[in-house]
Structure formats: structure tokens, C-alpha cells
């Protein structure tokens, strides 16, 4: 059955109506005549976004299904207005073979209401010793390569990974954490093209500097995951000015919270990279606004209540975020960026970074639509969370802007509209 969406608007405040059929956009425009007998959805007061993609999530399956699985993570994504997710490979076993990529795809096709795009490991077992078979992994459906959760410590292995990924059109996503970091940061490892006036102060910045230097050296792209500091942002900014093939992402928690949240929320505000200073938070907001940050993602990392109840130093890193991605981004950036620019960092940008065609409102495009009330005020309640895990510092926080309807493959997979 066709679906007729009326009275919506675009992010640019233009009137928009849509007719969806067979998983595609059949027609779009300001005033449409729906076919007889189709379902009608009145989207008055709502803004339509096409193809909300969270390109950095941990679905925990296989191996850690007590935290999350592909089905529950898909439900959480749908409730947050996310129509597609790219999932990291640090499962058990690690997603490092074509068979394990296909497992994720098959499970998602059977159980998830949203699209699931597997990211494959850079190294076998994420041990940082031997590269995976990039060509076979890409052919099996992997959209990117990352050892997220642990860094690739070997400079040579990371260089080879970037060069192997380049002709495949798949990005290498770097988890920037330098286990060999020591103060003061050795000046000999700074790349002169990045400048010598940046004081590298932590493990994230050290590894970001290395991977940016490798991108400059090789001409091969690298995507820096979950940047969180003023210096990391400035490193990426300078690299882009030099024309280096460097992109990056950040998360709503680095835009909304600083290190003081750990005192308030304990382990539910413990993550890696950690929450930083108020100065870093302000710098991250600036980096989103000036275009240094390409995409906004969640780094959705579920953990059980028992794990997060451990003493802070023993509790695992990570927070959930799929159900607060849109609300968090809109709340943090409200009044700083036009709505259209904010939504671009949640839709077209992550698709572009993964080398994928982004859904749109054009006839023939995949019907992946999120209807958002950008002015709705709402509070996250633990009892409303669809994820298996509840480890969020945002419980009890008020957001401005909410996804109310999620449509995937032309079908409504979540709706708050009665």
C-alpha cells in the first residue's frame, strides 16, 4: 500500500508532500494528489529529513547480546529517528571475515527495523598485527574498516590499511588513542605541515596527529572517530586547509557535557574519549559550526546496569545514544546553525563519508524518512528507552527537538503520532 505524507516541510521551511510506494519515493512536491486507497500521514508541524545515518554504533552482536543485539539496537535506532546504522566490529568474534560480515547483514535483514551497515576490522581480531582481507570484506558488504575500541598502534600497518582501502572507496576509521603517549610529546613525531605550535596533550591528539600525517604522506583518506578536544579539532582543521583527505566526527555528549558531568552521573558519564573541559566543549561546538566536523554520531555503546554499577575506575567506558542523537544534536546546535545544516551532518554527510548514495526526496530515491518536530520539548526517561541497556547521562535531561515518525523502506517502523 502506498503512503501519502501531507503537510510536512523541508528543513528550509518549504512545504513538502510525499507519496511512497514499494520502498521508494513515488512523488514529491508541495501539493500532491494521493492515489486512491493509500494510507495518509498528517505531518503538520514536522520537518522531514531523508536518510538519518548514525555511522558509529556498537550493536554488541555476536558475543555480548546481554548488552544489546541487532534487533534491540534497531528498535532503539527507529525510536530515535535513525533509519540506518553502521556497526563497529569489536564483537566476539570480531567482524574480520566475509562470513562474519554476512552474519551481521543476515541478522539485520531478519530482525532490525532499520538498515544495518557492517564495518569490518582493520586487523585480524583487532590485534593490530595482520591486515584483514579488505577486498573480500568490501565485496561481502563492509562499508568501512576500523579497529574501533582499540587503536592501530603500528604506523606501518595503519599506512598499509589506508592504502589498501583507498581504491575500494571505503574509509578507514581511526580510533585515536596512543598507548605509547608520554609527556612531553616528542617533537620529532610532529609533522611539520601541521605546525609546531600545537601542544599535544593527550593520547587522542597524539594518534590524530599521526594519522593526519599519514594521510598527508600517502594521499589516502582517513576518518577520525569521536574527536573530543580543541587540539584534535584544530589538527583536522589545519589538515583540511592543506587539502589533506581527512574527515572527522563528534558526538552529542561532547557538545552538551563536560567533565563535570562525571561527578553528577558517575559511570553513566564515563566514556572513551572521556568528557573534556568546558573549553574543549566550546571548541567542539565551534568545530561543528565552522565545518571542521563532518558528521555527528553517537558512538552508541551499551553496557549492563551491573557493569556500570561497578566503582568508577572499574566500570566500562561507553554510553548509549541512538534515542538521543537527533534531540542532542538539535539541542546543542540550536541557534548556532540552520536546521538544514544540522540535519546534513546526520544524513547526507555520513552517507558521503561511507561512499554511499544518500536518500533524498527525489522520485526514485529510497524511502527513508524521519519526521521531526524541531521545537518539541521532551525529557528522556529511563523507562522509555528501547535499548537493552540504560547507561545514559541524559536520563532526566530536557531536549528541544524530537523525531516522531521513522520510515524505512517506505514503511512506518516507529511513530509517536496517534
Give me the active site residues, please.
299
Count of C-beta atoms within a 10 Å radius of residue 14: 9
Q: Kindly state the cell numbers that stand for 15.
A: 512545504
d(CA 151, CA 125): 12
In the sheet that 53-57 helps form, which strands lie side by side, from edge to edge? 53-57, 84-87, 115-118
57's grid cell: 554504533
C-alpha cell at 407: 520510515
CA distances from 182 to 149, 197, 206, 220 (A): 20, 18, 9, 28
Closest listed residue to residue 4, CA positions, set 348, 344, 369: 369
**Which residues does residue 371 pair with via DSSP β-bridges, in sequence order?**
48, 405
**Quick check: 282 and 40 in contact, CB under 8 A?**
no
- CA diameter of the chain: 71
Residue with cell 574509509: 171
27-47: b (≥16 Cβ within 10 Å) or e: bbeeebebeeeeeebebeebb
Peptide bond into 142 cis (omega under 30): no
Measure the CA dihedral 305/310/316/322, to 10°: 30
The conformational region for residue 22 under phi > 0 = left, psi -120 to 50 = alpha, else beta, is: left
Amino acid at each position: 500500500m502506498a503512503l501519502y505524507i501531507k503537510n510536512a516541510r523541508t528543513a528550509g521551511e518549504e512545504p513538502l508532500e510525499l507519496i511512497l510506494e514499494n520502498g521508494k519515493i513515488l512523488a514529491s512536491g508541495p501539493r500532491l494528489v494521493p492515489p486512491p486507497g493509500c494510507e495518509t500521514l498528517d505531518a503538520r508541524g514536522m520537518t522531514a529529513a531523508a536518510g538519518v545515518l548514525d555511522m558509529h554504533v556498537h550493536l554488541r552482536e555476536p558475543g555480548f547480546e546481554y548488552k544489546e543485539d541487532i534487533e534491540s539496537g534497531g528498535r532503539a535506532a527507529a525510536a530515535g529517528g535513525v533509519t540506518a546504522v553502521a556497526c563497529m566490529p569489536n564483537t566476539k568474534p570480531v567482524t574480520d571475515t566475509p562470513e562474519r560480515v554476512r552474519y551481521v547483514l543476515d541478522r539485520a535483514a531478519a530482525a532490525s527495523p532499520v538498515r544495518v551497515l557492517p564495518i569490518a576490522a582493520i586487523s585480524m581480531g583487532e590485534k593490530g598485527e595482520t591486515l584483514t582481507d579488505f577486498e573480500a570484506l568490501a565485496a561481502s558488504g563492509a562499508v568501512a574498516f576500523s579497529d574501533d575500541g582499540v587503536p592501530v598502534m603500528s604506523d606501518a600497518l595503519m599506512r598499509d590499511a589506508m592504502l589498501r582501502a583507498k581504491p575500494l572507496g571505503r574509509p578507514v576509521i581511526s580510533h585515536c588513542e596512543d598507548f605509547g603517549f608520554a609527556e612531553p610529546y616528542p617533537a620529532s613525531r610532529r609533522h611539520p605541515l601541521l605546525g609546531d605550535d600545537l601542544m599535544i596533550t593527550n593520547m587522542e591528539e597524539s594518534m590524530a596527529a599521526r594519522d593526519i600525517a599519514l594521510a598527508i604522506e600517502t594521499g589516502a583518506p582517513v576518518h577520525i572517530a569521536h574527536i573530543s578536544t580543541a587540539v584534535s579539532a584544530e589538527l583536522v582543521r589545519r589538515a583540511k586547509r592543506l587539502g589533506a583527505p581527512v574527515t572527522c566526527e563528534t558526538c552529542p555528549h561532547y557538545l552538551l557535557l563536560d567533565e563535570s558531568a562525571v561527578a553528577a552521573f558517575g559511570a553513566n558519564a564515563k566514556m572513551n574519549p572521556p568528557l573534556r573541559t568546558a573549553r574543549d566543549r566550546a571548541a567542539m561546538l565551534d568545530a561543528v559550526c565552522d565545518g571542521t566536523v563532518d558528521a555527528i554520531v553517537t558512538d552508541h555503546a551499551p553496557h549492563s546496569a551491573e557493569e556500570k554499577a561497578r566503582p568508577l575506575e572499574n566500570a566500562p567506558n561507553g554510553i548509549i545514544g541512538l534515542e538521543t542523537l537527533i534531540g542532542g544534536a538539535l539541542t546543542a546546535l540550536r541557534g548556532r546553525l540552520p536546521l538544514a545544516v544540522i540535519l546534513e551532518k546526520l544524513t547526507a554527510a555520513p552517507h558521503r563519508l561511507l561512499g554511499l548514495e544518500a536518500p533524498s526526496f527525489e522520485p526514485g530515491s529510497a524511502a527513508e524518512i524521519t519526521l521531526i518536530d524541531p521545537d518539541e520539548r521532551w525529557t528522556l526517561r529511563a523507562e522509555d528507552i528501547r535499548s537493552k541497556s540504560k547507561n545514559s547521562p541524559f536520563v532526566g535531561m530536557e531536549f528541544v527537538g524530537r523525531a516522531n515518525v521513522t520510515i524505512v523502506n517506505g514503511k512506518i517502523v516507529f511513530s509517536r503520532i496517534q
